Amino acid sequence: MRKLALAAVLGLSLEWTASAQSMPEMHDMDHGTHSASPPTTSESPAPESDMGSMHRDHPMDVDSDEIVGNDPAPEPPADHAADGIFDPSAMEAAREQLRREHGRSLISKVMVNLGEYRVQDEGDQGYRWEGEARIGGNINRLVLKSEGEGIVSSGLESAELQALYSRAVTPFYDLQAGVRQDFEPTTRRTYATLGFEGLAPYWFLTQGALFVSDHGDVLARLEGSYDVRLFQRLILQPQAEINLSAQDVPEAGVGAGLSSIELGLRLRYELRREFAPYVGFSYDQVFGETADLARASGDGSSDHGFVVGLRAWF
């Protein structure tokens, strides 16, 4: 039995040694970096030569100017592989839709910033609106702006309409140019308009404009507002508007210098993002010659009242 066991152990050891010697490639593959046997001298230059030719042929090692040059880019290919399988007219319609929706889209929006009913300090009931409509792309747009106010008992006091070409000059600001038409009951004016509109740092909405009338009157206007989001749908919005004039315009009730300031504080609740009723308070003050003209016509130099209205867009 001892002889039989010894013979079995000896046979297994000889078989293991033979199998280890028959797989040198696997041993070298797994531990090639630690192999003690260096490559033969006759084979070592060949890999170096091949690597050198690979480096010479690799475009990343060549100066980019030698590859690209200064020639203009080639024209985009006019053939489309899909036209060989599908109806070319259907594929052209699909490509046109892709161009419209990605980079050449036509965007439109109608915004009613203020549409409100007002109870003034003397008990008069008034109304006011302010809004705009725009259509165009990301850079160039056509913008229509309108605003006005009146008294329920006496009717319209002032109204205006602006038609403007708007061009984005920075990611946050547009330059605007066009015409403004006033529809006041006592006087009518047409103005050339140059202005701006955009988002200032810290999320202040700002806009301003310079107006030059067909009678030579020069006016200016600055506006700003800020949304304080109290809750997800409850927003408090302070707003201010400053009007200036370069000269007296008695027929329009405007004096030179700082003519008026309008301040407002409105609290709106967004039932939906595009539909938000609000309540608030507004205060108007006229100055200088404008105040003198207002008192001469029987009006006061200041006014305030509570407002209720709707802000909406679609």
Q: Where are the domains of the chain?
A: 107-309
Beta strands (DSSP E) in the chain are 107-120, 125-136, 140-151, 155-168, 173-182, 190-200, 204-213, 218-226, 228-229, 234-245, 257-269, 275-286, 302-313
Domain 107-309, CATH 3.40.190.10 — does that match?
no
pLDDT means per 10 residues in the chain (314 residues)?
Answer: 50 50 44 44 46 48 62 80 90 86 81 94 86 93 95 88 96 96 83 96 95 93 97 96 93 89 97 96 92 83 92 95
What confidence score (pLDDT) does residue 292 get? 87
Q: What angle do CA 159, 163, 166 make, to 5 degrees?
A: 135
172 token code pair: 């946050």
